[in-house]
Amino acid sequence: MSQVETGDKTQIATAPRSRVVRPTGAAWILVIIVVLYAAVLLGGPLLAIIWGAASSGLKAMVRELTSAEAINALKLTIILSLSATIINTVFGLILALVLARDDFKGKRIVNGLIDLPFAVSPVIAGFMLMLLFGRQGWFTATIDALNVRVVFALPGMLLATIFISSPFVVREVLPVLRHLGEDQEKVAYTMGAGYWRTFRQITLSNIRWGLLYGILLTFSRALGEFGAVLVVGGGVTRLTETSTLFIYRALDDRNEVGAYAMALILAIISFSLLLVMEYARKHSRKD
């Protein structure tokens, strides 16, 4: 108690907001509980999969990951994730701008709708698409006439990926836009700058960290998607098998090395994105 008081008195003048101190006595117990919990919950499984992947040797892992199916699966995952990210970034920015700057009836509804994909289980998302484009779906006759395949094919999986990763950019950019207001842009306009130039040089640069964080979240989410693409795509090898579906099938093939190796690859990609995200997050909070 006295230690806290002393620490107290010396720091009051320097850091009126959250003080960070070294833990003492009872505090150490709390720290240990927290660290143990994190270690068991997060660390254990993580180590287990690294061990599982590595236990059959690096050579076996590399062999599995360079097989035609694995490469196809990774290619498909990256194409889907990048495309969905680009599309969601463009439209997410548009929606964020509209919501931050415009006033219109039904704005609250629009807001709620944007958050909808968070509330939807991936299987339900896939199911919705099946209702639209599957047997006796709303648009099945139309796409059949156009000779386009949607379900059990790439377009369907792209739609599913877009749907489940759509809210992130809006959510991250909107508060920043709101916080900033339009003053800087207005100044630019009165000085004669055009809309595009203002957008690029002022708006975009102001929201860059939030935007980056949103883009990374979108990509990461798209990368790991499983339930929706399973329902819509069916995991047909060389056609609709993403990396996650490859893992799912590898387990059934008794190909544990392949499954764990691919899982590890996805985890590494995601973890690297995570580190970049952390960096972006710190900056976006500071701005």
Partner 1 sequence: MCTEVMRRNTRIAVTKCLLLSSLLSSMVSCGGSISDHGRKVTLILGAYTTPREAYTKAIIPEFKRYWQQKTGREVEFQESYQGSGAQSRAIISGFEADIAALSLEGDVDRIVKSGLIQHDWRANEYHGIVTTSIVVIAVRPGNPLGIRDWSDLTRQGLRLLTPDPKTSGGAQWNIAAIYGAALRGYTDAGKDDPTAAKEFLKRVLVNVSIMDKGARESIINFEKGVGDAAITYENEVLVGRQAGQKYDYAVPHSTILIENPVALVDKYVDKHGVREAAEAFVQFLLTKEAQEVFARYGLRPVEEEAARGAGAQFPPVKDLWKIDFLGGWSQVTVNLFGPAGAYSRSFEELHTAQ
Partner 2 sequence: MPASSPAIRPWGRWGLRVVGIVWLGLIIVLPLSALLEHGLHDGVSALFREIANPIAFAALKLTLLTAVVMAVINTVMGTLTAYVLVRYRFFGSKLLNSLIDLPFAIPTLVTGIMLVVLYGPQRTLGAWLAARGIQVIFAQPGIVLALLFVTYPFVIRTVQPVLMEIDQSQEEAAWTLGASPWRTFFEITLPAITPAILTGALLSFARALGEFGSIVIVAGNIPRSTLTAPVYIFGQIESQNQRGAGAISVVLLALSFALMLFVDWVQERRGKNHVSG
Query: x/- binding map, residues 26-55, to partner 1, per CB under 8 A?
Result: ------------------------------
Q: For residue 261, what is the enclosing H or E element? A: helix 256-286
Which residues in 147-166 contact partner 1 (CB under 8 A)?
Answer: 147-155
Residue 150 φ/ψ, nearest 5 degrees: -110, -60
Q: Which amino acid is at 266?
A: L
| Binding at 36: pick from partner 1, partner 2, none (beta carbon under 5-8 Å per type) | none
Minimum distance from CB of 162 to partner 1 (Å)? Answer: 12
CA 71 to chain CA centroid, Å, is 22
Q: In the chain, what is the straight-line distance between the N-terminal and C-terminal CA atoms, in Å?
A: 37
| Binding at 155: pick from partner 2, partner 1, none (beta carbon under 5-8 Å per type) | partner 1
Spatial CA neighbour of 235 closest among 244, 193, 215: 244
Which residues in 122-141 contact partner 2 (CB under 8 A)?
Answer: 122-132, 137-138
Q: Does 209 bind partner 1 (CB under 8 A)?
A: no
Task: Indicate which single residue of 238, 276, 282, 287 sits in contact with partner 1 (rule: CB under 8 A).
Answer: 238
73: its two tokens: 């699966």
Minimum distance from CB of 175 to partner 1 (Å)? Answer: 21
Asked if residue 84 lies in contact with residue 161, where contact means CB atoms within 8 angstroms, the answer is: yes
Q: Does 128 bind partner 1 (CB under 8 A)?
A: no
Q: Does 252 bind partner 2 (CB under 8 A)?
A: no
Handedness of CA 51, 57, 59, 64 (dihedral sign): negative
Minimum distance from CB of 148 to partner 1 (Å)? Answer: 7
Q: How many residues bind partner 2 (CB under 8 A)?
A: 113
Minimum distance from CB of 149 to partner 2 (Å)? Answer: 18
CA 194 to chain CA centroid, Å, is 33
Asked if residue 144 lies in contact with residue 69, where contact means CB atoms within 8 angstroms, the answer is: no
Phi-psi region at 120: left, alpha or beta (left = phi > 0; alpha = psi -120 to 50): beta
Stretch that binds partner 1, among 44-52, 104-112, 177-185, 250-258 (CB under 8 A): 250-258
Spatial CA neighbour of 271 closest among 209, 211, 220, 212: 220
Minimum distance from CB of 24 to partner 2 (Å)? Answer: 9
Q: For residue 137, what is the enclosing H or E element? A: none
Which residues in 58-77 contact partner 2 (CB under 8 A)?
Answer: none
Task: Indicate which single residue of 184, 227, 235, 273 sits in contact with partner 1 (rule: CB under 8 A).
Answer: 235
Distance CA(111)–CA(171), nearest Å, equals: 10
Q: Does 234 bind partner 1 (CB under 8 A)?
A: yes
- Report the interface residues with partner 1, using CB under 8 A: 79, 82-83, 86, 130, 133-135, 140, 147-155, 200-201, 204-205, 208, 234-239, 249, 251-254
